[in-house]
Amino acid sequence: MLNDEALDVLFREARTYAAWLDKPVSDDVLRRIYELMKWGPTSANSNPARVVFLRTLRAKERLRPALSPGNVPKTMSAPVTAIVAFDLCFYEKLPKLFPHNPAMRDAFANAPQLVETTAKRNSSLQGAYLMIAARALGLDCGPISGFDNAKVDEEFFSAGKEREGFDQEFFPEGNVRSNFICNLGYGDRSKLFPRSPRLKFEEACTLL
Footprint on residues 160-189 left by its own copies (CB under 8 A) = 169-171, 179-180
Q: Is 128 in the site for its own copies (CB under 8 A)?
A: yes
Cβ of 192: how many Cβ atoms within 10 Å?
Answer: 13
**Interface segment toward its own copies; rule CB under 8 A; list 71-79, 116-124, 184-192:** 116-124
Q: What are the φ and ψ backbone dihedral angles of 24, each rounded to 5 degrees?
A: -70, 160
Looking at beta carbons only, is 77 or 120 nearer to its own copies?
A: 120
- Longest CA span, the chain: 58
- Residues between 49 and 88 with contacts to its own copies, criterion CB under 8 A: 49-56, 59
Q: Which residues contact 160 (CB under 8 A, 6 or more apart)?
A: 153, 154
CB 118 within 8 A of CB 46: yes
Q: Shortest Cβ distance from residue 99 to its own copies (Å)?
A: 7
CA dist., res. 141 & res. 124, Å (int): 15
Q: Is 152 in the site for its own copies (CB under 8 A)?
A: no
Q: Is 27 in the site for its own copies (CB under 8 A)?
A: yes
From residue 199, give the alpha-carbon distance in Å to each of 13, 41, 69: 17, 26, 29
**Nearest by Cα to 82 from 29, 30, 20:** 30
Q: Shortest Cβ distance from residue 76 to its own copies (Å)?
A: 15
Q: Shortest Cβ distance from residue 107 to its own copies (Å)?
A: 11
Q: Is 134 in the site for its own copies (CB under 8 A)?
A: no
Cβ of 116: how many Cβ atoms within 10 Å?
Answer: 13
Q: Shortest Cβ distance from residue 61 to its own copies (Å)?
A: 11
Q: Shortest Cβ distance from residue 131 to its own copies (Å)?
A: 7
**Interface segment toward its own copies; rule CB under 8 A; list 71-79, 91-99, 183-191:** 91-99
